[in-house]
Amino acid sequence: MRIGHGIDVHRFAEDERALWLGLVHVPDGPGLVGHSDADVVTHALCDALLGAANLGDLGRHFPDDDPAIAGISSRHLLESVLELVRAAHLRVLSADVTIIAQRPRLALYMPAMSHELTSLLGTLVSVKATTSEGLGALGRAEGIAATAIVLLEETA
């Protein structure tokens, strides 16, 4: 058994960017700044998976200075990470994600996030949200953060 932890943070964009969280479009909020679609939930999950598999981090596999992947979908990132995990003879047993955001309200979107992530990972992905009670940059609603933890099992 292997455990991995991931975290990601992105600030809100000032332009009209779409907000993607957990592979779900969230129309209630401004988008996030990033080289990809800036889906902090999926990025944290990718880092947790890579960490548990001892495969580095997302930036190592998808550097943010590579123009060839500018605007890349986090669905594609997660699919690629899962291929690496499976190639390392590991499978996902469990995953849990926490979103930290003052805004937008996410309760309506979390079931869809769980569904989308679960369908790709092949195991239940729990998605929850909290605020930082007005503290720090996240509390001032300057962006969104997410953490993820995963449990992997060797398959061979």
Tens digits of residue pLDDT in 76-100: 999 999 999 999 999 999 999 999 9
pLDDT of residue 28: 82
Alpha-carbon span 60 to 13, nearest angstrom: 24
pLDDT of residue 71: 87
We report the CATH number of the domain holding residue 14 as: 3.30.1330.50
- Three-class HEC string of 123-156: CCEEEEEECCCCCHHHHCCCEEEEEEEEEEEECC
Rounded mean pLDDT of the chain? 95
* Residue 13 in this model has a pLDDT that exceeds 80: yes
Q: Which residues does residue 51 pair with via DSSP β-bridges, in sequence order?
A: none
- Which one-letter DSSP state was computed for residue 18? P
Instruction: Provide the Cα torsion 94, 62, 115, 105; round to 10°.
Output: 110
**How many separate domains does the chain show?**
1
Which residues constitute the domain of residue 32?
A: 2-154
pLDDT of residue 146: 98
Q: Which two tokens stand for residue 105?
A: 């309200």
Q: How confident is the model at residue 151 (pLDDT cuts 50, 70, 90)?
A: very high
Alpha-carbon span 19 to 90, nearest angstrom: 31
- Cα-to-chain-centroid distance, residue 109: 14
Rounded average pLDDT over 8-36 = 94
Q: Which two tokens stand for residue 155?
A: 């398959």
Query: Are 8 and 62 a contacting pair, CB within 8 Å?
Result: no
